[in-house]
Structure 1
Amino acid sequence: MFDLQGRTALITGAGSGIGRAIAVSFARRGCHLALADVNEAGLAETARLLPQGLRVSQHRLDVADREAVAAFPAVVAAEHGSLDLLVNNAGVALGGTFLQVSESDFEWLLDINFWGVVRMTRAFLPMLLERPEARIVNLSSLYGLIAPPSQTAYSASKFAVRGFSQALAHELEDGPVGVTVVHPGGVATSIANSARLPSSISADEGEQGRRATNKLLRLPPAQAGEIIVRAVEHRRRRVLVGSDATIVSVIERLMPVHYWRVVQRLTRSRR
């Protein structure tokens, strides 16, 4: 077991949802925390939920800001001295087909969901390599296993995180830093409600899409956080979060070309 007592973890997107749940699960195990998010009010709420006696710092950080990320290791080192765990959780969503989504919106999403992971890893890997044992935890998605229509940008980013994480794990396997890639299924966060939509999609269409998506987001974030942190304790390289992610991963392996027909039928039955 990777003992988390007394370790220090940095979590991006810690102001809500899965990031907040991961922070709470780490804190229960006595892990000190550096919490990062663009939402400062959300960070304060996450910090309020944590037990006393831990070293907890809050940092407003946009992972799409190259200069801010490059300068961030010095900030974390000043607050905590060292770092044992980097959790790249920050992410955004973007609805619409490829023809509907503008190039600027596509780049906006990739800059956060993929390049944010790469930037944070590049910035903090030297700190992690100084530790006897450390770990990078990258949040991909169910949509890093399958690629539904109207998710070209999101799936592209999450498949990229998956590939990056697997290659990085192979490169680092003889050293002290391990890599875990996480594929959450339908976790009950606000990601659908906060998703960006193309201007060509009407308000009514957008609301219908959000309602349909929210019906599939059922797993409590607290449960997802526990699954992820337990996987870190067991040094697992890949984590499927939720029964939907587990089932869909099997369908995709059995039917790598035509899986979407089966997934559609399952999705309609769940709704």
Structure 2
Amino acid sequence: MTRFDLNGRTALITGAGSGIGQALAKELSRRGCALALADIRPDRLEETAADVGRADTSTHVLDVADRDAVASLPQKIADRHGGLDILVNNAGIAAGGRFDELSEAEFDRVMEINFNGPVRMVRAFLPMLKGAAEARIVNLSSLYGLISPPGQSAYSASKFALRGFSNVLANELAGSSVGITVIHPGGVATNIAKDASYPEGATPDRVARNREKFERFLRLPPEEAARTIAEGIARRKRRVLVGNDSKMLSLLERLAPVTHYSLVERLMR
């Protein structure tokens, strides 16, 4: 199969202000993409744009939970870039704590950003993507869209949902000019654990212990993750496992779909 040439494409990245989104912006720029960068934090957004340093970059302050803001974005992209070839749904948040500790509002907020946000972005941009000679939708799921650790009910549910949505889209769009790539990053060294919210009753000591526990596994540099993701897009891959931990645990889940997490806990100890 011929490669999906990234040079000369226009890519829209949500959550572009930090972590994987920021690193991917730099990597896609290096491979010749014009960029539309979106993030809820204006300061982080401008920092990424400055680091990229391309004249064909636009910035858009965006909360993917804001229906009206998402609905109005395609026209802004069309006016600035003339069209879109790659949509990267990367924006996401995490909420630690067991399901019975999380409020309904906390749980719903994670689903709203991590799942409903990508769904409404796809709904908004699919007509424009269909107008391109060839286009790709890239959805950032997670290692926790493959396995389901305790204390991650909202985050894992949102990432499994995004994985399922991506698979359905891939089947529905088969044979069209729009392809789907779903990404499962493992422990990438981002601020996801540091920025995660916790239930109101969680003590500072407990929050610190949990953050330290998960940050120990966030080792892969975002730049390396971005290279893997960009190469997966260029190769038109349906699924991309990022990091050896993602590859290993994906295999373990397939071999032991019911009991795999007890093995994971032993490895973590």
TM-score above 0.5? yes
Deviates more, 1:134-143 or 1:41-50: 41-50
SS of structure 1 residue aligned to 2:195: coil
1:51 Cα shift? Answer: 4.3
Question: What is the SS of the residue equivalent to 1:193?
Answer: helix
Q: C-alpha offsets along residues 204-238 of structure 1, whole Å, 9 cap, x if unaligned?
A: 10011001111110000000000000000000000
Distance 1:173 1:22 in 2: 26
The count of aligned residue pairs is: 267
- Name structure 2 gaps, 5 residues minimum: none
Cα RMSD over matched residues? 0.7
* Alignment match of 1:21 (pick from 23, 31, 53): 23
Structure 1 residue 262, shift from structure 2 partner: 0.8
| Corresponding letter in the other structure for 1:172 | L
Aligned pairs for 1:46-65 within 5 A? 46-52=48-54, 54-65=55-66
- Local SS of the residue matching 1:49: helix
Tell me the equivalent position of 2:222: 221
Name the aligned partner's letter for residue 179 of structure 1.
Answer: I
Structure 2: which amino acid aligns with 1:165?
S
Contact 1:27 1:51 in 2 (8 A): no
Contact 1:128 1:134 in 2 (8 A): yes
* Superposition deviation, residue 144 in structure 1: 0.2
2:240 is the alignment partner of 1:239: yes
Q: Could you tell me how far apart the structure 1 residues matched to 2:45 and 2:186 are?
A: 24
CA distance in 1, matches of 2:256, 2:201: 34
User: What's the TM-score once normalised by structure 2's chain length?
Assistant: 0.98
1:54-96 Cα distance to aligned partner (Å, 9 max, x none): 4000110000001110111011111111000000000000000
Letter paired with 1:56 = T
2:102 equivalent in structure 1: 101
Instruction: Give the TM-score normalised by structure 1.
Output: 0.97
**Structure 2 counterpart of 1:154:** 155
Say if 2:84 is the partner of 1:87.
Answer: no
Structure 1, unpaired ranges of 5+: none
1:7 aligns with 2:46: no
Task: Tell me if the contact between 1:28 and 1:51 (Cα under 8 Å) persists in the aligned partners.
Answer: no
Is residue 51 of structure 2 the alignment partner of residue 44 of structure 1? Answer: no
Give the % identical residues: 57
4+ residue runs over 4 A deviation: none
